[in-house]
Amino acid sequence: MGVTLPIPKSCDAAGPEEYRPITEYRAVSHASILKAAALLGFPPSLVEYIGCLYAGGTTQLRVGGRLSDWIRPGRGVRQGGPLSPLFFCAVMDWVLSGLDPQVGLGLEGSDPQSPGVR
């Protein structure tokens, strides 16, 4: 549990219900985080533990001194979590590895046979 910094949904937002939490990498689903952790070689017990952390996480928004009701985020990595950047990058690696290597733009001086960024 914790208090998250809110950002307004519109320019004239007034109450907590008109704000949303700041969440880095919101497009990353919790299921994809667990899949990426497993692909990184995390032991199944640790993957299960991470799943429990994400399933049980709650937060509140503070707007003008008022706290919102408790919110249970359903997407995104935990803001400020020490493993959040690792999880996000692991998910992106997993997603990008499934793309056709012929799609994209090569980098000047890069080896077309290397598995690097294209």
pLDDT at 65: 83
Dump the DSSP string for 28-59.
-BHHHHHHHHHHTT--HHHHHHHHHHHHT--B
pLDDT at 117: 47
Q: Residue 30: which domain range?
A: 3-97
Regions in the chain scoring below 50 on pLDDT: 1-3, 23-24, 117-118
Asked if residue 80 belongs to a domain, the reply is yes
Asked if residue 29 belongs to a domain, the reply is yes
Asked if residue 58 belongs to a domain, the reply is yes
Model pLDDT for residues 102-116, shown as the tens digit of each residue = 776 666 665 556 555
Asked if residue 69 belongs to a domain, the reply is yes
Asked if residue 114 belongs to a domain, the reply is no
How many angstroms separate the Cα of 81 from the Cα of each of 23, 50, 84? 11, 12, 5
Q: For residue 27, give the 3-state DSSP assignment.
A: coil
Q: How many domains does the chain have?
A: 1
Please state, in angstroms and rounded to a whole number, the distance separating the CA atoms of residues 98 and 70.
37
Asked if residue 40 belongs to a domain, the reply is yes
pTM over 0.85: no
pLDDT at 47: 94
Asked if residue 106 belongs to a domain, the reply is no
Asked if residue 55 belongs to a domain, the reply is yes
